[in-house]
Structure 1
Amino acid sequence: MNFVNRHFPDRDETDRVSPAPAVSRQHKWPIRYDSIEYVALCADIATILFASLVSTLLYQAQNGHAAGDLSNALGLALVSAACLVCLLKTRGLYRPIELLVFRNQIRAVCLAWTSLFLLIWAVSGFAIRPGSFQEAGPLFAVFGLGLLMAERWGVRALLGRGLSGRKFASTNIVLISDQPLSRDAGLSETLAMHGYCVKGRFSLPPVGFGPACRRRLTARVIDCIRSSQFDQVVVETNPERWHELRAFVADLRVLPLPIMFVPVGTTSELLRYPTRSLGSAVCVELQRGPLKPLECATKRMIDLVGAGLALTILAPLLALAAVAIKLDSAGPIFFRQQRCGFNGRIFLIRKFRTMHVLEDGPVILQANPVDRRVTRVGKWLRRTSFDELPQLLNILDGSMSLVGPRPHALAHDGEFDKLVRNYALRRRVRPGLTGWAQVHGCRGPTPTAVTIETRVQYDLWYIDNWSLRLDLAILLRTPIEVLRGRNAY
């Protein structure tokens, strides 16, 4: 459709319409990109209903029961589907961009489905009565989870195919922009992948256009849309121009179409951040906390349980180490040193004493492979990292966690802060007994700026990607790293 020749023979330089691209004749799917979320949601419900019915029928056939009333199966399936869909919907896992991340989808579905069935089992009791549907519950749980994972794989495959092959049903849009045609060509290409077709383009006049120019542009846009079939209006410009675009957008409200705004320029970066409510005000969250309140509570509970169990189990070995330290050399059993912890707060870290000296001042020498300060017992304690176990007490008092960035002595902390950019960001979480850097071999002394920078990169990656699963993986890998003994002296 050529708007230039058919509709606007008297256009000027401020109101231009570009010819529409040729419409592809390839076969399109009957769904639009905007509908993917609802299609995936309905697919989950259908999958759960199918799994419930099949599980019940299989159970009845296996136990020689005649096909009976399926109302119980349908009831539980509907409750399960409603709960699962609500859980996943609130976490935004039905968005197309999330459906493409298969690993995250599988993890979320497994966690939600397992938690849901544990809750249902606890509430209903799942009384074992011959011929009752409750006996088919475990089969439904396993079969349903398998079908949900298979369905997620199918949705991901179809979504990827639809994007790469531009299979989604076309959504015709009018683009009103003040950007160069070369940039709009890139935007049109991106939109085409998602089924959006730019059927008409208008150029916004320069900054400061007056009411007459605005009315002329509005009339042309309205005339174009009313003479053809369009689905959306997209306005692309710098948000700083909004004060002069407000009246123009208000004039377009006579159209029964949604009007979208695509921000460009430096101000548009703010709109990439999530918004939150601050009382009655709407604010932009420039940086989220490393852990949400529920995540903090969960991590703290794991710290308390883990540290308590470890101290109970290892109590005889800890006592034996204390006796060996006392018999080997003069001095206290424990070594306490100031470290910088969560939010820059200073705390006293506890270790078994492994040296003849107790350094805790402005100058502290890091240990080396042939350090004469190390005692005979201390040599073995350091090599096995057993000297770090008294930090379980720090975990109990809340100054440390089982997993997190390792804290450094205050003398080294100030030095590293000057050497490595963003070093202070490590203090956004509690320091840990072990960490992501340690299981990658970043242990012991840091003789060069490169070594400390590598360690900091691992620590910051851990903070930005924290999860309970990651903490568990680090805890499981720590004993293997201790046995390898890299940089432990």
Structure 2
Amino acid sequence: MNFIKRDIDLARSVAVTGLREPSPPARKWPITYDSVEIITVLADAAVILSTSIVAGICYHLYTFGAPGDILEYVGSAAIVAALFISLMKSREMYKPAELLILRTQVRAISVLWIAVFFLLAGAIFALKTGNEISRGANLLFALFGYSALIAQRFLWRRLLTEGMIKKRFSGRKIVLITDHSHSAESNLPHVLTSLGFRLERHFTLPPPEHGSRRREKIISSAIAYVRGSEVEEIVVGADLNRWPELRSLITELRILPFPVNLIPLGAVSEIFKQPSHTLGNATCIEVQRGPLTPFEYTAKRCIDIVLSGMGVLTLLPLLIIVAIAIKLDSPGPVLFKQRRCGFNGRCFQILKFRTMTVLEDGAVVTQAERGDNRVTPLGKWLRRTSIDELPQLFNVLEGSMSLVGPRPHAEAHDTQFDKIVRNYALRHRVKPGLTGWAQVNGCRGATPTSTDIERRVEFDLWYIDNWSFRLDFAILLQTFTEVLRCRNAY
């Protein structure tokens, strides 16, 4: 039974939605809760196959007046289904708990569906087989398939919710044995029945102070009840802090030829809600996940390399012209280099076009102010248009920065702000960015007061907690508007 870590909490959340529990239905669905995952996989495969055939026939009938080669549509659907379903399954998007979260499902389907078609387009281009593929039919297939998959997710959410609230799932006959000490046990029978299990009997063990003889009597009664009955499974809900007593109970239940499943209750049960994986012969529990998964980190890094590389190539003439202008405008180097704090507090040298007559990079760094006489004549224009920040595209290519993230501060300012703002160091959980959520919300330029830096940090932490590819692209687009507005740029 796979509900111990996640499905129990899912069913409990559905059970307390505030809806009045209806009377049990006369007929249950001929599916179990545990079979939802495999049924969804098969349903996705069927949707992809059917939309491929429909799209191909519609396109060829409209274009050529004939339905075309159905085997070709089936072949395309098989490749797309294999890639898409594998990617969805690797991200556990077919788990019932995930199927109930529409936002996550829509986002995953959108990203992976587009990724699959881009991958296939790249493969077709590399193999030079484009003449044998109908682009119109495949574009129609992509549109039909995406729409049908999204519509199916709305249907699955409705069916899952109805099945759990109205107890329509079929399930195995079980006996429940719970510890007396937790209020959660009062809700556990309802949770199990909402998952489709048929609760035949519920035994509650007394506290130790009531004596071991009474406890043993109840355990013997439970064993006697199960023997000769049609019970198929035993579920034990108990606090793991009382493991010696629990181990004794499990030992006694071994006399029965049925599976025994444990549902942890109490504070210790929180650990079982965390993701886990094997590490050699040991089980490793992830008590805190990183801001980005390995897949998300790799994808974000690839986007950084591609876009920053394109930016350098496109803007190279402008960069050369600005470099020459700086040399002619005032004495000093073209580039300003300063140590900044990046990911995990690692120091790196940020690159900017020099806009001042000073190059501060020590224990004391004075922030630029409006009308600052240290700014060169050309530097005023460079700072106002944010062109002075363009050399940081090389920082992005190098890997010390990202296109989008919290803006890095000088080491001297980092030390100062860390003492003023609570959770300031959490900004270093991701790479610093060329632009960020704080910047597109007007938090640019100097931070003369603690309120200013607190507001900027608040935006940065929100970005880290709510990161998505869509948010990154939205920030990049808003950055162009923000540069034109020139707010706090001096």
TM over 0.5: yes
Cα 1:218–1:103 change in 2 (3 A) is same
Cα 1:246–1:181 change in 2 (3 A) is closer
Structure-2 residue corresponding to 1:454:
455
Give TM-score, length-normalised by structure 1.
0.82
Give the conservation status (yes or no) of the 8 Å contact 2:53–2:70: yes
Structure-1 residue corresponding to 2:18:
none
Give the conservation status (yes or no) of the 8 Å contact 1:126–1:134: no
1:340 to partner: Cα distance? 1.4
1:151 and 1:202 map into 2 onto residues whose CA distance is 41
Cα 1:298–1:90 change in 2 (3 A) is closer
Opposite residue 450 of structure 2, the aligned amino acid is A
Opposite residue 427 of structure 1, the aligned amino acid is H
1:33 to partner: Cα distance? 3.1
Give the conservation status (yes or no) of the 8 Å contact 2:176–2:199: yes
2:56 and 2:273 map into 1 onto residues whose CA distance is 47
Cα 1:484–1:285 change in 2 (3 A) is same
Cα 1:41–1:273 change in 2 (3 A) is same
Within 5 A, what are the aligned runs for 1:68-467? 70-120=70-120, 122=123, 128=131, 136-169=137-170, 173-180=174-181, 182-191=183-192, 193-195=194-196, 200-207=201-208, 215-226=216-227, 230=231, 232-255=233-256, 257-467=258-468
Structure 2 residues without counterparts, runs of 5 or longer: 1-20
Within 5 A, what are the aligned runs for 1:3-42? 24-26=23-25, 29-30=28-29, 31-42=31-42
Structure 1 residues without counterparts, runs of 5 or longer: 1-21
Identity in percent: 50
1:443 to partner: Cα distance? 2.0
2:481 and 2:319 map into 1 onto residues whose CA distance is 21
Opposite residue 105 of structure 1, the aligned amino acid is Q
Q: Secondary structure at the match of 1:350?
A: strand
1:316 and 1:71 map into 2 onto residues whose CA distance is 52
1:279 and 1:35 map into 2 onto residues whose CA distance is 30
1:350 to partner: Cα distance? 2.0
Structure-1 residue corresponding to 2:45:
45
1:441 and 1:134 map into 2 onto residues whose CA distance is 44
2:264 and 2:339 map into 1 onto residues whose CA distance is 49
Cα 1:371–1:150 change in 2 (3 A) is same
2:119 and 2:332 map into 1 onto residues whose CA distance is 55
2:418 and 2:385 map into 1 onto residues whose CA distance is 29
Cα 1:173–1:70 change in 2 (3 A) is same
Give the conservation status (yes or no) of the 8 Å contact 2:44–2:149: yes
Cα 1:451–1:52 change in 2 (3 A) is same
Opposite residue 374 of structure 1, the aligned amino acid is V
1:444 to partner: Cα distance? 1.9
Opposite residue 147 of structure 2, the aligned amino acid is G
1:326 and 1:71 map into 2 onto residues whose CA distance is 66
Give the conservation status (yes or no) of the 8 Å contact 1:28–1:168: no
- Provide Cα deviations, 1:416-468, integer angstroms capped at 9, x if missing partner: 21223332232233221112222222222223334323333333343344444
TM-align CA RMSD? 3.4
1:367 and 1:404 map into 2 onto residues whose CA distance is 22
1:125 to partner: Cα distance? 6.1
1:134 and 1:433 map into 2 onto residues whose CA distance is 38
Give the conservation status (yes or no) of the 8 Å contact 2:238–2:246: no
1:399 and 1:280 map into 2 onto residues whose CA distance is 36
Opposite residue 482 of structure 2, the aligned amino acid is E
- Provide Cα deviations, 1:97-138, integer angstroms capped at 9, x if missing partner: 211222332232233334434555636865646xx9998444
Give TM-score, length-normalised by structure 2.
0.82
Give the conservation status (yes or no) of the 8 Å contact 1:342–1:431: yes
1:215 to partner: Cα distance? 4.5
1:268 and 1:112 map into 2 onto residues whose CA distance is 33
Q: Which moved more, 1:401-410 or 1:285-294?
A: 285-294
- Provide Cα deviations, 1:21-66, integer angstroms capped at 9, x if missing partner: x993445550343332233222212222322333344355446666
Cα 1:210–1:244 change in 2 (3 A) is farther
- Provide Cα deviations, 1:395-428, integer angstroms capped at 9, x if missing partner: 2333222222211111110122122333223223
Cα 1:166–1:393 change in 2 (3 A) is same
Give the conservation status (yes or no) of the 8 Å contact 1:99–1:105: yes
1:60 and 1:230 map into 2 onto residues whose CA distance is 57
1:376 to partner: Cα distance? 3.2
Structure-1 residue corresponding to 2:476:
475
2:403 and 2:115 map into 1 onto residues whose CA distance is 25
Structure-1 residue corresponding to 2:7:
none
2:330 and 2:75 map into 1 onto residues whose CA distance is 72
1:198 and 1:180 map into 2 onto residues whose CA distance is 21
